[in-house]
Structure 1
Amino acid sequence: MVFATATAAGWLGEGRRAEHVGFGSVLGEDGKLLRTRAGASVKPVELLREAVARAVGTGAVKYADLSSDREKDYVFAWDRMPAVEGNTSVYLQYANARARSVLGRAGREVGPGTPVVLAEAAERALALRLLGLSAPARLTSRVLALGPELLGIEAPDRL
């Protein structure tokens, strides 16, 4: 049916052809076909979604724990951790991907070792003020140095 539709659409024929390429089944660790609870086969895209969900979830829990004051109690709120707004790892990953995308479109790739240019007086004043902070600055630089490794994720360049 797919090949007939492609031929009818003019995508095949006149020296262009298509060929079905089959591949093996997705098996579980027990060597049996991997199936959903309902008994349907599992598609590779579903496996990828599950892997991404686990990575984002792991990062969300780690960030929520590490971003709290270590000397105070905090409320472990499942619904806040994966939120796409506020002080969450999901929001920070999204903001990072967006910022990299904007900079990439502007022809300015940013990575480790990229020099920081403080062109405006306000930028310089803010940087000097941040340098005057001791403990938060050390902790922040350590967290930034560990980055995705600390969160257990790999931040995408684009979403």
Structure 2
Amino acid sequence: MSELEPAPAKNRHSAVPLTTVDDDPTELNGFETCLVCVNEWNVDFAALCFVAQRPDSQGIIDTLSLSVTTMEVTTYPVKATAYLYHGSSGAYFGSLDLRYFGMRMPRTLVFDVAEHCLPISTLIEVRFGIDGGGTPRIPRSPTITSVALLLVGRKFHTQQSVRIAIANP
């Protein structure tokens, strides 16, 4: 996770609700079709912003699964990044590198993010880009046609206590 404020993205989209899967409160799923053409080098193009739609915001995200489809096979690896915002205030607090996808690469990636203790109420904006350069525009640029996000969370209770051991320096 990084701490620097992100540059504004091109093509900002509306929020997509993450809803429970089969009445299981630990799984939240969101899917939306979109048309995001990644046609410039080294620029983040916003796809979708996912937000949990449930009254109980207690818990953290254990795993995050990202699935992406494109209109045609791209010859360039497409970089995916999740920009993370506070659920209530909308303040930016970090980003996650969601790796690359493209030709001969997986279209669904699963990440263990439990160590970051991200609240289940985190707003997750997914952006795409292609690193490189050359011509002013990317030839045969890829178009993202849909994005799906699955969060598996873990609830915590106010009765839980955390034991902290501090070593003497």
Taking structure 1 as the reference length, what is the TM-score of the superposition? 0.19
The one of the two structures with greater contact order (alpha-carbon pairs below 8 A, sep at least 6) is 2
Structure with greater proportional helix content: 1
Taking structure 2 as the reference length, what is the TM-score of the superposition? 0.19
User: Could you say which structure has the larger radius of gyration?
Assistant: 1
Structure with greater proportional strand content: 2
